[in-house]
Structure 1
Amino acid sequence: MSDATELPDSKGPLIYRQSIWTRVTHWVWAICLFFLLLTGLQIFNAHPALYIGNESGFEYENAILEIGAVNSAEGPRGRTILFGNTFDTTGVLGMSGDAARPTFTAFPGAVTIPSYRDLGTGRVVHFFFGWIFVATMLIWFVASFINGHIRRDIVPKPADIAGVPRDVAAHATLRFRHGRSYGPLQKLSYFTVFFILFPLIVATGLTMSPGMDTAWPWLLDIFGGRQTARTIHFTVMLLLVAFFIIHIIMVFAAGPINELRSMVTGWYRASPGTPGAEGDRP
């Protein structure tokens, strides 16, 4: 039965969809990524530019992103240079705050931890939650491999790839099928996050550490230098932020109460006709 033919008050079976391991790691990741993002922007503010290559500095012209402030006929203005293109970003990037007492930082204090310039605190908090993030990722991989979550819900199968066009159409028209397993787009997005973006942001983070480079010099070879690793790290962060925004939109579109109940208790209300019954566990 499709969503279009379901009665408004019809209810499908309540199924146990999310294990305790999935739920706990999900919320730990959410907390970690919040602090990692805001402290990461604090760290970025110490040198608000990204480069490609092993070297960086005033004598080089390999910056692909620069955020700062410049003087103009109208006074100081925020300026962002991206791939050689210059944008006035006053009030958002480079210069923000009250016009009488502006703040000259790449990202405003409203989105950094701490909200004022404090690179030392930002680094300590960033590394603290970074290691919690890594430990949680390892726990999730082991638990999800043992209980079959990776095989069942994360790794896309040929049938999932074939079903992508249909799933795209369903999402475009906000017609969601609530079943025991994830849909094709969910599998593809989660696979990308868990097996590409998460490992990549951890590996590039390690590459930026001089101590890790000394112990594992091959990291610099893989990512083309510390500055390139920093640029990749920043880019992956942007992709994770985009994923988070889309994820939240889809939660509200698919039914926030049902989705939140699933990630808090593990129980999920499926569409009518879905195999399963009250009290059933996979």
Structure 2
Amino acid sequence: MTHNGEGLEQKSKGPLVYRQSIWTRLTHWTWAICLFFLLLSGLQIFNAHPALYIGQQSGFEFDNAVLRIGAVNTPEGPRGQTTVFGQTFDTTGVLGMSGSAEAPQYTGFPGAVTIPSFRDLATGRVVHFFFGWIFVAALFIWFLASVINGHLRRDIIPKGQDIAGLPADMADHARFRFQHRRRYSPLQKLSYFTVFFVLFPLIVLTGLTMSPGMNATAPWLLDLFGGRQTARTIHFAVMVLLVLFFIVHVIMVVLAGPLNELRSMITGWYRTSPGTAAEQGDRP
């Protein structure tokens, strides 16, 4: 006999399904580690020249900067200043000038968010390139495995019904109504598709475009992105978009049930919503 309390508890749980393959899980955590080091080492590299331009050229004689971070002297003393598309903002304590009054840091981004935490462009580049190639290798492994096991076709590439169901799914997410199913929702599919097939390729290709060696091997990259400076600006913008995606991704994981979501990405097993039938191919 099953006690009433136990019966209610069992009814309150949906089926446990195998959602994430070992390849998805391994590459997911590899990307998380790589992107952490790529972001912080990338900011170290950016600090060597904290400005972004559009076009082939840059320098003091050009006025094509779309972003500039630095410190300026004012009647009140040095202040951090950030200029975005001609609009200037005081960013003292965050960008351009940070640290304590006794030991101010005159860098674009503060040392707390760079690797290394002190000015060391050479080490920053070594760290950046090391994790960059690991990132690319993980992307290749994920793509190959996802084609073979059907993850790409089944869970990433949006289909007609996904596009049709997108408005309703967006409304559900806005109201924090989450359906825990074996397959990804339309909004998840569109988000992951954008990351894997737009943002990831863009950040890799623009990174390669900034390499003099790649300029000699594949000069068409310079034409594709409108020059090294434009590629650097796109690279930075994509980094910002990936950071925003990460923030939203973590928020969604917390709101949807962090233990269930983390179990799925660690063990592969995922608890679906009550009344959700296990789809074909799922294991109980």
TM bracket (short chain): over 0.9
In the superposition, the TM-score normalised over structure 2's length comes to 0.95
1:18-70, Cα deviation, whole Å (9 max, x unpaired): 00000000000000000000000000000000000000000000000000000
Matched, 1:157 2:150: no
Q: 1:266 aligns with which of 265, 268, 280?
A: 268
- 1:122-173, Cα deviation, whole Å (9 max, x unpaired): 0000000000000000000000011000100001111111111111111111
Matched, 1:32 2:34: yes
Q: Distance in 1 between matches of 2:201 and 2:149?
A: 21
What is the CA distance between 1:208 and its match in structure 2? Answer: 0.1
2: distance between equivalents of 1:182 and 1:32? 24
Query: Secondary structure, in 3 states, of the residue corresponding to 1:276?
Result: coil
Instruction: Tell me the percent identity.
Output: 76
Of 195-204 and 168-177, more deviation after overlay is shown by: 168-177
Residue of structure 2 equivalent to 1:251: 253
Separation of aligned partners in 1, 2:153 and 2:133 = 26
Letter in 2 for 1:229: A
Alignment of 1:109-258 (within 5 A): 109-258=111-260
Compared CA separation, residues 72 and 264, structure 1 to 2 (3 A): same
Q: Which runs of 5+ in 1 are unaligned?
A: 1-5
In structure 2, stretches of 5+ residues that fail to align are 1-7
Query: Do 2:83 and 2:89's aligned partners in 1 also have CA atoms closer than 8 Å?
Result: yes
Alignment-derived partner of residue 82 in structure 1: 84
**Which among 39, 46, 49 is matched to residue 47 of structure 1?**
49
Aligned length: 276
Tell me what 1:56 maps to. 58
Higher relative contact order (CA 8 A, sep 6+): 1
Per the alignment, residue 3 of structure 1 pairs with: none
C-alpha separation in 2, matches of 1:130 and 1:169: 36
Give, in angstroms, the shift of residue 113 of structure 1.
0.3
Distance verdict in 2 for CA 1:275–1:9, change over 3 Å = closer
Query: Given residue 98 of structure 1, which amino acid in structure 2 is its aligned partner?
Result: S
Q: Aligned partners of 2:127 and 2:11: how far apart in 1?
A: 48
- Taking the aligned partners of 1:70 and 1:56, their CA distance within structure 2 comes to 20
Contact 2:34/2:135 (CA < 8 Å) preserved in 1?
yes
Shift, 1:9, TM fit: 6.8
| Cα distance change, pair 276–86 in 1 and its aligned pair in 2 (3 A) | same
Secondary structure in 1 matching 2:72: strand
